[in-house]
Structure 1
């Protein structure tokens, strides 16, 4: 019989974490409950925790460098780490030491990004698998069937349902072609779909997305470049939203690198709905002939050269660091809340000085801002909230807000806000420059 940790959080994680200032959405609560079943009971982290196995360690406050080392040393491959305030850059160092497993996006009900990870992907062997996945792939008609021989044979050998289709395109498949194809397959079949490039071979059943029950799954190449070579879409409304947004963005920019487009789609969608994302392990993106990858599930026909494995020069440098930490960057909104109003006016709120504030203080300000907007939006149709640890981030977020023709205000963590903040802001006939709200909220 497994001995229960005396510090374990009770069976209602949403209620237990609320006492620590954590406000979770429904989907985030479901993910926490799943983690406690898959890895072990929820246990709050402290510097005195001893090494153990089979726990879900909850980290609410960013640890110091030494604290992160202690936490890392206390983990085993049977543990998971959960960060309820995953949008806060104060956790970036801890995240850099761990493997990202997934995240659940922010909403007005749960205005934080729930991040989870660990030492390495390892789910219990007896984890139940519900349902099946359909493998889909497409290629230009100009490419013969010989090109898909290994993919087809591997899928037949594993007994997996699949659909491989030749597409009538000129020279190559664009991101728009892929998005349209995947959307068509998703609507044709009742199972979740896993899109792969045709030059891959399956060596095992791709059960991980089904085991986790996520909305969307992808592999982050080099820990920050999202690969469009392996994409999973579940059967949820959130998955459909992600797929539809990818279609729209890809059709608008058909010649842009497909990895960047799926990255931008993810950052847009995860800031507006509780998108449950799983980051597929390297075994789903193994390179043919590459050493050190054991038990590969999907092998890709890529050249394991320095050019292929190094940073892509076309990927925007300003979003690389946030992606390594599994969060949005300063130019992007961490949270977007829409209001039921006919107005086309939007407001950008810049939460500045995040680096010098505690995670709980920053979280409380996020919750206060979203609550104030939900209670009285002042006629604004949308709230776009950006977290900015440095002054350079503030400038980037401010300029992005101005380019979108939004009203822009700056707020510091812990600042008192008037309940009618957004109504007063909408009524003010202020010049086009950021407004600094003083402590009284006037």
Structure 2
């Protein structure tokens, strides 16, 4: 039965021209096992279960009609969710998670969501895999909050490690200190880790991330702002890469707010590996005063009106928009690919006008670029691909690539990309260099 379901899924993806990497295919297969048989681009019958896979973004009335046709027994998978055209529909759904692009094999971001968390939360109750809860607080400070956390964990019979650490400030743990603590816990224990800020209490066993089997799980405050108060790390190479990237950023920029650094670490990691991310529900990041605080899994000792989250009102609006839609921002590299070329030079390809172009055309151009690089890198050791909606985004992407001393190419959706695209541009560089040296 399972083999037949897998064959049907593969046939459906092939008929729709959808290319998925291994991690994305595994997540989709898992969803089919949970919800039922998949369909493509259709409006589901509200009385049935199933996974609806979308290739094209519905807009306006079509999106509203699609949303109303769903029920909690349906899941929605967006195979090319890096396109801003899907943002409106995503805003109406509950966002469960994303799986980052997988190079030329799966050159798109995959988003999955539905109508509420109830199905997963009830199923997670039977999960036997449990994370180790870890937390830290300043040594010499008030340990009352940590004591309450420990008591709640003992009541739930959860393995934990709560530690007083040396900190620069007596009343708080800075981002680089938290990241270094987590990295030490990663090397000490073999279980998945769930970091919870000292001062929180657990009302129920936090089994959802383990049940979903993701690399990373984090809550987005106000749907866009990553909070480091609750952070799950599965025992995967991708999770370790995220953790080490966060630690390096925090060590390099100790004065920058931890949520922003976690956001940037997520963006960098997602561009390089197919990071399987779950966006945790509010019950895993409830605050005192929340309407649903009595049903919370994790309750933090902050008031709902806290200013601790979101201390930077100047946080780029374009990043807010992207994070609400579970994708990287236009000013971040959407995908990074590397080759076996011995040289250390890189090339930045900027795909412009993605918001005003046909999504199918954008997707086809993206596939053509990654396919050409995989076929012939032209001697470039690294490709960074950026998707830009507006011209000012192009300028920022050019500036970033220039600082890295990358060769910069700007292309438009629908532009022909030959198999020797990168080799031809490498030759152009060589000719220009020769002309400068031998005028």
TM-score (norm 1): 0.91
For 2:82, the equivalent position in structure 1 comes to 87
- Farther-moved stretch of structure 1 (289-298 vs 343-352): 289-298
Change (3 A) 1:53 1:122: farther
1:152 and 2:146 are equivalent in the alignment: no
| Structure 2 CA distance for partners of 1:376 and 1:115, relative to 1, 3 Å | same
Q: Is the CA contact 2:41–2:56 (under 8 Å) kept in the aligned structure 1?
A: no
- Runs of 4+ that moved beyond 4 A: 8-12, 306-311
**Helix, strand or coil at the partner of 1:32:** helix
Q: CA–CA distance in 2 between the matches of 1:385 and 1:364?
A: 14
Does residue 1:97 correspond to 2:92, yes or no?
A: yes
Contact 2:107-2:370 at 8 Å conserved across structures: yes
Partner in structure 1 of residue 175 of structure 2: 175
1:61 counterpart (52, 56, 63): 56
> Where do residues 95-244 of structure 1 align in structure 2 (5 Å cutoff)?
95-108=90-103, 109-123=105-119, 125-126=122-123, 129-171=127-169, 172-244=172-244
Q: Deviations over 1:113-149 (max 9, x none)?
A: 1001112112354455242210000011022332312
Shift of 1:431: 11
Question: Is residue 419 from structure 1 mapped to residue 397 from structure 2 by the alignment?
Answer: no
Q: Is the 8 A contact 1:9 1:43 kept in 2?
A: no
Cα offsets for 1:250-279 (capped at 9, x unmatched):
111122100000000000001110110000
Q: 1: distance between equivalents of 2:110 and 2:63?
A: 18
Structure 1 vs Structure 2 CA RMSD: 2.1
Q: Tell me if 1:26 matches 2:22.
A: yes
CA 1:389–1:316: 2 relative to 1, 3 Å: closer
Aligned partner of 2:407 in structure 1 is 407
> What is the aligned partner in structure 2 of residue 268 from structure 1?
268
Instruction: State the match for 1:429 in structure 2.
Output: 429
TM-fit CA distance, 1:160: 0.5
Which structure 1 segments of 5+ residues have no match? 1-7, 433-442
Question: What is the DSSP-based 3-state SS (H/G/I as helix, E as strand, rest coil) of the residue aligned with 1:123?
Answer: helix
The alpha-carbon distance between structure 1 residues 230 and 342, as it changes in their structure 2 partners (threshold 3 A), is: same
Cα shift readout 1:395-442 (whole Å, capped 9, x = no counterpart): 22222222222111112222211211111111213899xxxxxxxxxx
User: Which piece of structure 1 moves more, 24-33 or 8-17?
Assistant: 8-17
Do structure 1's residue 17 and structure 2's residue 13 form an aligned pair?
yes
Provide the aligned length of Structure 1 versus Structure 2.
Answer: 424
Q: 1:215 to 1:182 in 2, by over 3 A?
A: same
Cα distance between partner residues in 1 of 2:294 and 2:138 = 32
Q: Distance in 2 between matches of 1:392 and 1:314?
A: 17
Q: Which moved more, 1:207-216 or 1:401-410?
A: 401-410
CA gap of 1:21–1:208, structure 2 versus 1, over 3 A, is same
- How many angstroms apart in 2 are the aligned matches of 1:118 and 1:303? 29
Is the CA contact 2:129–2:211 (under 8 Å) kept in the aligned structure 1? no
Deviations 1:170-197 (A, max 9, x none): 2131111111111111111111000011
* C-alpha distance 347-355 of structure 1, shift in aligned 2 (>3 A): same
Change (3 A) 1:377 1:250: same
Deviation at 1:15, TM superposition (A): 4.2
Q: Is the 8 A contact 2:132 2:192 kept in 1?
A: yes
Report whether the alignment pairs 1:71 with 2:66: yes
CA–CA distance in structure 2, aligned partners of residues 148 and 360 of structure 1 = 52
Q: Give distance in 2, aligned partners of 1:53 and 1:227.
A: 36
Q: Between 264-273 and 52-61, report the one with greater CA deviation.
A: 52-61
Contact preservation (8 Å) 1:330, 1:396: no
Higher helix share: 2
Which residue does 1:330 correspond to in 2?
330
Q: CA separation in 2, counterparts of 1:130 and 1:12?
A: 30
Counterpart in the other structure of 1:356: 356
- In structure 2, the gaps of 5 or more residues are 433-439
Determine if contact 1:361/1:413 at 8 Å carries over to the other structure: yes
